[in-house]
Structure 1
């Protein structure tokens, strides 16, 4: 059966670092490159950068399993990119950001989805953001605000007895990314 590892969490919760460790532990894991519009944020090779008009066209043509807008940028998980990973008999790691982005993946037929919420404190988030966005106070503020909003949304869901629909929650404040990656690897083998 096909399998997907979904990593969700507030900004700077460790999704990228844990994914890097997971792909080193076992080469069957591959980080799915999302399509991204806009400028700013992470500028590494973990995204397929496209123009806004192309992003909108892909939405109209239903080429994304899931897409959303965050930090004035569009992010989308392409069906084509996912199928390329499946065709190579690999397990995609997908960063879904907010918890509501889980639903389209959980509805896929013939695919086992392992969803993991990474939890980190506000102080640790700020520390990580400052290290990552050295000279970009606006980007840091935007991500801290997103952290505050997302934690409030999660707290509201929990207080109203709604399920978050994650298979696992991992506190990533004081644990090494390699230890968490090994834990996720073990979970994925069960």
Structure 2
């Protein structure tokens, strides 16, 4: 499953609710070369990332906040082989297209959304030191969605400021068909 949304749209919170509801859901730990928030990431050096890239293991790579993020296709395969449903957080539509192409699973694509001002409020509440950059990323996500048009479709869209995390998780489980 792909959870798409701007910063502070509830990806971590909804993922926690999904895991609580059904233990088959497992957050895929993305690779991160850089610094900053570490939750949900496995730090790697730029050299390690290059070695994985050279080995053809990177399904998707993105850059944001001066960091490089990547999904190791082996990590996805390991979760699937263990009977788990990988949950991958994405913040751009190009990354969704690349992931779906590189790892041909029956992906359920869920758009988590909040208004711009909610992103700013949540960012401050969780102690981000770069709230202005998070709001800028919201603007980029909004523009990205408009530019993508029908190139990326979502199976479900949830306004997380209007839905409790567990209710959002239940809606997602129904969409996945578990």
Q: Same fold (TM over 0.5)?
A: yes
CA RMSD of aligned residues (A): 1.7
Match for residue 47 of structure 1 among 16, 41, 44: 41
Corresponding residue of 1:35: 31
List runs of 5+ in structure 1 lacking aligned partners: none
CA 1:76 to 1:109, structure 2 compared with 1: closer, same or farther past 3 Å? closer
Length, aligned pairs only: 178
Structure 1 range deviating more: 49-58 or 67-76: 49-58
1:170 Cα offset (Å)? 1.6
For normalisation by structure 1, the TM-score amounts to 0.86
Give the one of 121, 141, 144 matched to 1:150: 141
Report if the CA contact (8 A) 1:105-1:113 is conserved.
Answer: no
Q: What displacement does 1:186 show?
A: 1.2
Pick closer, same or farther for the CA change 1:149–1:111 going to 2, 3 Å: closer
Q: Partner of 2:175 in structure 1?
A: 187
- Aligned partner of 1:93 in structure 2 is 87
Q: What is the CA–CA distance in structure 2 between the aligned matches of 1:105 and 1:154, rounded to whole Å? A: 17
Quickly say closer, same or farther: Cα 1:20–1:109, change in 2 above 3 A: closer
Distance in 1 (alpha carbons) for counterparts of 2:146 and 2:66: 25
Please list every run of 5 or more consecutive structure 2 residues that lacks an aligned counterpart in the other structure: none
Q: How high is the TM-score relative to the length of structure 2? A: 0.92
2:64 alignment partner in structure 1 = 70
Residues 183 and 27 (structure 1), Cα distance of their counterparts in 2 relative to 1, 3 Å cut: same
C-alpha distance after superposition, 1:29-84 (max 9, x if no partner): 111101111111x223x211111221122222221111111111111110111111
1:110 shift after superposition: 5.8
Q: In 1, distance between residues paired with 2:126 and 2:15?
A: 17
Structure 2 CA distance for partners of 1:128 and 1:82, relative to 1, 3 Å: same
1:13 to 5, 9, 23: 9
